[in-house]
Amino acid sequence: MKKFIFMTTMAAALFMSACGGSGQAGEEPATSSDNEEEQTVEINEIDEEAVETAESETDNYQLGDSVGISGITVTINDAYMTDERNDTSIIDVSGVLVLDVTYENGTDEVFPAGRDIVLEAGGEHARSYDLDSALPADIAPGESITGRMAYGLENAPENMVAVFEPLMNDSGENAVFDIETE
């Protein structure tokens, strides 16, 4: 989405620059190098504005943001690809993405953490992938836990989002996180 907004803004900026006039009546016409210089300055100014606008227009949360829904607060601390594999897994994957996640249970019921974040990569749902020491785990009321959630990817990790919707969520709310790996 960010790339689409950025590219659309860039195309509009270039179009506006190309259609701009070269001066006012009574002024000497500018030389082509002056016009190129002015256009370059204008485009650079618009580029910076477009990037800031594109980044601020997303409604998605980013790594490190905390979101509370129905008394459960989740923070996706980090996202990374791992070479670790489960030899007993029946899923054939090209890569495994790990999310480092913190849950806080602000309810008065035990919460089953690690069963409520769905990963989409390139518009496709990624399947959860079993790794040692990965969530799920039950969290007592007032407690918190940090753990790993792993997902098997069939293709290159592009345009990834994680959708958090707590299992004990009566309102149907969810939170979408942009997932970027290094």
CB-based contact 55:178 (threshold 8 Å): no
The total of structural domains in the chain comes to 2
Instruction: Say which residue, 140 or 31, is predicted with more confidence.
Output: 140
Q: Do 97 and 118 contact (CB within 8 A), yes or no?
A: no
Q: Counting Cβ atoms within 10 Å, is residue 153 exposed (0-12), middle (13-18) or buried (19+)?
A: buried
What pLDDT score was predicted for residue 176?
97
Reported as a single tens digit per residue, the pLDDT across 59-117 is 899 999 999 999 999 999 999 999 988 888 777 888 999 999 999 999 999 999 998 99
Q: Nearest 5 degrees, angle CA 128-CA 74-CA 163? A: 45
47 and 78 share a domain?
no
For the chain, percent of residues with pLDDT exceeding 70: 68
Indicate the DSSP class of residue 163.
E
Quote the tokens at residue 112. Answer: 């089953």
**63 contacts 79 by C-beta, under 8 angstroms:** yes
Identify the pLDDT of residue 28.
Answer: 54
Domain span including residue 174: 66-179
129 and 100 together in one domain: yes
In terms of pLDDT, which residue wins out, 95 or 8? 95
Q: Can you tell me the distance from the alpha carbon of 161 to that of 73, in angstroms, rounded to the nearest whole number?
A: 18
One domain, residues 140 and 157? yes
Residue 160 and residue 177: Cα distance in Å, rounded?
A: 9
Q: Are residues 51 and 99 in the same domain?
A: no
Residues 98 and 46 in one domain: no
The residues facing 98 across adjacent strands are: 80, 150
Mean pLDDT for 128-133 is 84
**pTM as predicted:** 0.66
Residues 88 and 149 in one domain: yes
